[in-house]
Amino acid sequence: MPWTELGESVAIPMLRVRPSLLMPVSALPHLLSRRLLAAAGSVAAVFGSACAWAAPALRNGAQAVPQPLPLWALVQAAVLLGLLALAWRMCSLARRHEQEDTLSRAMLDHSPQLIALMTADGRVRRMNQVAHQWMGDSAEALTRAPIWLHPAWGAEPGQAERLRQAVAQAAAGATCRLELRLDHGAAGTRLADLSLRQVPTGPNGGARHLLLEARDVTVRRQAEDKLMLAGSVLEQTHEGILITDAHGVVLSVNPAFCKITGYGAEEIQGQFPAALKAGMDDPRLAARMHRSLARCGHWRGELRTLRKDGTPLAAWVSLAHRLDPGGRTSHLIAIVNDITQSQQTEQKLLRQVHFDTLTDLPNRHLLTDRLVQALHTARRNGDTLSLLFLDLNRLRDINDHFGHSAGDAVLLEVARRLRDSLRDVDTVARLGGDQFAVLLPGTPADGAQQVATKLVERLAQPCHVGDLRNAAGESVGQELSLTLSMGVAVYPNDAEGAEALMRCADTAMYRAKQEGRGQWCFYTTEMQQRSVRQMQLEAALRRAEERDELRLHYQPQLAVTRSGEIAGQVIGVEALIRWQHPELGMVSPGEFIPLAESSGQILAIGTWVLRTAVRQMADWVREGLAPCVVAVNLSALQFRDPGLPELVQAVLEEAGLPPEYLELELTESVAAGNPQAACAMMDRLHALGVRLSIDDFGTGFSSLNHLKRFPIHTLKIDQSFVRDITTDADDRAIVQAIIQMAHALRLTTIAEGVETDAQADFLRAHGCDMVQGYRYCRPQPPADALAWIHGQRQRAGESADKPATSPLPAITDTTVAG
């Protein structure tokens, strides 16, 4: 439908034409011509009248005498001619009007905007083709009701009201702009930018209509939205974005870029990207970057540089170029991810996997890697290497005594000394706890020997570990002396593979530890055999009790006689375990007890010993053996078991043996770690009424200060002092000192391992209270031991000899529950 006038008469000078409502403008000329033809008909009629007036005279053949025309005829003719001229003029005017109208229509219809003329009450009077397209079939409805009631404008709530208000304001003379969402039929919802204003439409500006112009801004708005979105992404993203021109001059950076690099935008814009330039110092990297940009338009990689404050920045950068329509680079866009933190975390994790957190030394994992690598190289070059395993002695004591921070300080000091003593190509590792390892590539056995000697010496030097304090908070000095046990294994002599070599070094270290503190030794195949036997024993020991392979032997303990006669009164027996294995034969406790201690089996075995010995003594007392005490060895592990007093009490009650018939032999080591805890445990045991003695006295590290506080009855002089008592002046001096000190502390003494009369004489002469040893009786099975005791008592009774002292406390009740 073309541009249309809708229901208004058009004023034409001198001729009022009233076309029907909605009649097309193009019909106007036809209408006008009809009227003019009618006028022409009138002219013809007048002309006909004139002719009729002249005709009779001509028909009668009369001499035609020119007759003057009557005036009315002339006037009529003139009028007619005038009318004809006017009709002609009207026709050409109508034609011109029609042409202009066609042009205006074309102009309006081909405008991309919606254009409509409205009345002040919002009814559309004329509209262009775009309006028809936008409104579709419902366009005609616009003429009948105000525009805001049209369904197309009511797509959004409140929109109709806004339009109504805008029409009212425009009618009042204002120019209104508003944006409306328009339901555009099949094309979907569109966004229209509307302008409404009053325009004059009558002659001399008399009549006024409202001109509505609307543009479809959907695409533009979408583009603007996209731009806004892109802008806010740029603003809010955590990735730094930098845009340069083709020459690399920075055009813009986003806030994240400034945050990452520490530079303000104003410091970077207009500059070369100095913040990232540091990474470009590597010419190979720069070349790779340019090649990649030229080949595929982008580059990705890691750059390392410095932030403005000089701290290191690791960035993952994506670089892309933008081309202009001519295919030339117009911009470079860099997206920068700060990976410093994640890299640091990654490195930290990697370090944790490979390094010991306390000492920062390689851990077992990394040592194994390096050993595998070193073995590979040695194999290829026909070379050798040595591996040392080190175990720091007494770390547990240091921890217990001075706290874990002191233990840590010691470990750090050991790590430092080891590192300082070795070459850069060597590896010092901490295997965990108190164990270290040293890998010496290209070092044969003699070189390893030199290193081992050096390490023992370096570590033996006093260790200053700060102001150490004991558990009571007392300052205990700042120096500790360290010792270590070290095992050395050499490739290719001892083993070919990494694992096997590590096992060898470990076995040698274990052997060195068994042999005494501050020792080191090379691995030997004999050690291997020994460790195989140890594994066999350990496995067999687990089933020894249930297979009834364990036995107790008893060795009498005698009071020293006044006269110096060898035999004295039997005042007790020591229970000593024996293991008779069906295939392995008799296994010495000296061999299996340490194994039971290291595997923890000693707790079960120790309970069996305690129960068996107590039952045995209860039986003997019932048979009239009293007064006699049974001494049971307790290992340090048993002693540290908090349930020990309850166990002892239960075992005594179970057997019906009064507590004073039981003596528990503790070694000095139970007290060395944590004397306070040891003292508390001894107090609990003492409270049960049992006797306590310190075994192997003189070999450990007892502090006399602690000793005086322990509720013990007896000190047992170690047999290593007794053995050479007749030949070694030092041993003699030690034994004398122990006896004197014990007496000063009101403790009794017993010497173990007495084998000769000379030893017995010396002990008696210096006041030792009791003796035990092969000189009197070897450890025996219960029946033999009992027989020996009865025989001895008889002998002692016959000799009427009395003990020098009364070493046993009065046993108040010898009645044993039966």
Ligand X SMILES: Nc1nc2c(ncn2[C@@H]2O[C@H](COP(=O)(O)O[C@H]3[C@@H](O)[C@H](n4cnc5c(=O)[nH]c(N)nc54)O[C@@H]3COP(=O)(O)O)[C@@H](O)[C@H]2O)c(=O)[nH]1
Measure CA of the first residue to CA of the last residue in the chain; give whole Å: 130
Query: Rounded to an integer, what distance in angstroms lies between the CA atom of residue 121 and that of residue 171?
Result: 8
Query: Rounded to an integer, what distance in angstroms lies between the CA atom of residue 573 and that of residue 629?
Result: 6
* Residue 60 burial (CB count, 10 A): 9
652 vs 722, beta carbon nearer ligand X:
722
- Spell out the residues 6+ positions from residue 383 whose beta carbon is closer than 8 angstroms to its own: 377, 441, 442
For residues 700 and 730, is the Cβ–Cβ distance under 8 A? no
* Residue ranges in 769-818 assigned as alpha helix (H): 782-799
Choose the binding region for ligand X from 8-16, 115-123, 339-347, 574-582 (rule: CB under 6 A). Answer: 574-582
Q: Is residue 577 involved in binding ligand X (CB under 6 A)?
A: yes
Taking CB under 6 A as the criterion, the residue among 218, 633, 674, 714 binding ligand X is: 633
For residues 256 and 262, is the Cβ–Cβ distance under 8 A? no
CB of 535 to ligand X, least distance (A): 20
Choose the binding region for ligand X from 15-23, 80-88, 116-124, 573-581 (rule: CB under 6 A). Answer: 573-581
3 state SS for 706-764: HHCCCCCCEEEECHHHHHCCCCCHHHHHHHHHHHHHHHHCCCEEEECCCCCHHHHHHHH
CB of 755 to ligand X, least distance (A): 4
Q: Is residue 670 involved in binding ligand X (CB under 6 A)?
A: no
Q: Is residue 555 involved in binding ligand X (CB under 6 A)?
A: yes
Angle at the Cα of 675 (from 672 to 677), degrees rounded to 5? 125
Choose the binding region for ligand X from 237-245, 418-426, 587-595, 701-709 (rule: CB under 6 A). Answer: 587-595
CB of 424 to ligand X, least distance (A): 46
Query: Rounded to an integer, what distance in angstroms lies between the CA atom of residue 487 and that of residue 484?
Result: 10
Q: Is residue 612 involved in binding ligand X (CB under 6 A)?
A: no
CB of 558 to ligand X, least distance (A): 12
Provide the mask over 675-714, with x wherever binding to ligand X is found by CB under 6 A and - wherever it is not. --------------------xx------------------
487 vs 753, beta carbon nearer ligand X:
753
- Spell out the residues 6+ positions from residue 696 whose beta carbon is closer than 8 angstroms to its own: 667, 668, 716, 718
Q: Is residue 576 involved in binding ligand X (CB under 6 A)?
A: yes
Strands (E), 460-504: 463-464, 479-480, 484-491
Amino acid at 625: L
CB of 727 to ligand X, least distance (A): 16
- Residue 337's alpha-carbon distances to 237, 259, 342, in angstroms, are 10, 11, 11
Amino acid at 758: A
Q: Is residue 590 involved in binding ligand X (CB under 6 A)?
A: yes
Per CB under 6 A, which of residues 483..502 are in contact with ligand X?
Answer: none
**Residue 516 token pair:** 């005494």
CB of 625 to ligand X, least distance (A): 20
698 vs 753, beta carbon nearer ligand X:
753
Q: Is residue 545 involved in binding ligand X (CB under 6 A)?
A: no
CB of 544 to ligand X, least distance (A): 13
**Residue 727, beta-bridge partner list:** none
Choose the binding region for ligand X from 197-205, 324-332, 378-386, 771-779 (rule: CB under 6 A). Answer: 771-779
Could you give phi then psi for residue 213, rounded to 5 degrees?
Answer: -120, 135
Closest CA to 124 of 21, 199, 212: 212
Provide the mask over 245-284, with x wherever binding to ligand X is found by CB under 6 A and - wherever it is not. ----------------------------------------
Per CB under 6 A, which of residues 732..761 are in contact with ligand X?
Answer: 752-755
Query: Rounded to an integer, what distance in angstroms lies between the CA atom of residue 655 and that of residue 32?
Result: 146
Q: Is residue 668 involved in binding ligand X (CB under 6 A)?
A: no
Choose the binding region for ligand X from 118-126, 150-158, 586-594, 640-648 (rule: CB under 6 A). Answer: 586-594
504 vs 634, beta carbon nearer ligand X:
634
CB of 700 to ligand X, least distance (A): 12
Q: Is residue 773 involved in binding ligand X (CB under 6 A)?
A: yes
Choose the binding region for ligand X from 223-231, 413-421, 529-537, 569-577 (rule: CB under 6 A). Answer: 569-577
For residues 289 and 319, is the Cβ–Cβ distance under 8 A? yes
- Spell out the residues 6+ positions from residue 105 whose beta carbon is closer than 8 angstroms to its own: 2, 3
- Spell out the residues 6+ positions from residue 615 whose beta carbon is closer than 8 angstroms to its own: 654, 655, 657
Q: Is residue 763 involved in binding ligand X (CB under 6 A)?
A: no
CB of 633 to ligand X, least distance (A): 4
Q: Is residue 549 involved in binding ligand X (CB under 6 A)?
A: no
Question: With CB under 6 A, what is the number of residues at the site for ligand X?
Answer: 22
Q: Is residue 662 involved in binding ligand X (CB under 6 A)?
A: no
Q: Is residue 589 involved in binding ligand X (CB under 6 A)?
A: yes
For residues 235 and 219, is the Cβ–Cβ distance under 8 A? no
Q: Is residue 384 involved in binding ligand X (CB under 6 A)?
A: no
Query: Rounded to an integer, what distance in angstroms lies between the CA atom of residue 624 and that of residue 612?
Result: 19
Radius of gyration, alpha carbons of the chain: 60
Report the sign of the C-alpha dihedral through residues 422, 425, 431, 433, in that order.
positive
CB of 516 to ligand X, least distance (A): 15
* Residue 496 burial (CB count, 10 A): 11
Q: Which residue is nearest to ligand X (CB)?
A: 773
Q: Is residue 534 involved in binding ligand X (CB under 6 A)?
A: no
154 vs 779, beta carbon nearer ligand X:
779
Taking CB under 6 A as the criterion, the residue among 443, 612, 635, 749 binding ligand X is: 635
CB of 433 to ligand X, least distance (A): 24
Taking CB under 6 A as the criterion, the residue among 609, 617, 630, 747 binding ligand X is: 609
Choose the binding region for ligand X from 28-36, 317-325, 400-408, 571-579 (rule: CB under 6 A). Answer: 571-579
- Spell out the residues 6+ positions from residue 744 whose beta carbon is closer than 8 angstroms to its own: none
Report the sign of the C-alpha dihedral through residues 663, 665, 670, 672, in that order.
positive
For residues 685 and 662, is the Cβ–Cβ distance under 8 A? no
Taking CB under 6 A as the criterion, the residue among 568, 779, 782, 807 binding ligand X is: 779
CB of 769 to ligand X, least distance (A): 16
Binding residues vs ligand X (CB under 6 A): 555, 574, 576-577, 588-590, 593, 606, 609, 633, 635, 695-696, 719, 752-755, 773-774, 779
